[in-house]
Copies of this chain bind each other. A is one copy, B any other.
Amino acid sequence: MSNLYRFGIAVDRELVDEFDIVAEESGYANRSEAIRDIMRNFVIEKKTQQKGMDVVGSFTMIYNHRKRISDKLTEYQHKHNEEIISTLHIHLTEECCLEILALRGKSENIKKIADSLLAQKGVMNGKLVLTAI
């Protein structure tokens, strides 16, 4: 009890309203509980990505291959073939790709790879999932 710390924050009202709705739908008792939980997850996630950690995980991205980025992505991935174990490519539609990279290495290298891929024009979405081993 004595360990609790109380502080105030200012958030866009629209965001607060939306947050309250999805938090309730997700089974949280109240806003505070939900915020505590996402703060905790944020800390865990960022700690996993700290420099020097040995991590494994995946990077999931969606991209439009019509933008002719396959060559660039392939070339980039080959430069990092020590960290990228293999890549699973799903041909969703004639234009749209789901590409999932299986990754292993030092967290800072893995993060750099994910950031570089995300920065490519045409990559519409990208999410890194890491676990320390």
Give residues in A with beta carbon < 8 Å to B. 3-16, 18-19, 22-23, 25-26, 31-32, 34-36, 38-40, 42-43, 46-47, 56-58, 60, 62, 65-66, 68-71, 73-75, 77-81, 84-98, 100, 102, 104, 125, 127, 129, 131, 133
Interface residue SS majority, chain A? mixed
What's the least CB distance linking A39 to chain B, in Å? 5
Minimum C-beta distance from A130 to chain B (A): 9
Q: A78 touching B94 by the CB < 8 A rule?
A: yes
**Choice from B15, B70, B93, B94 contacting A70 with Cβ under 8 Å:** B70
Interfacial chain B residues near A84, Cβ < 8 Å: 91
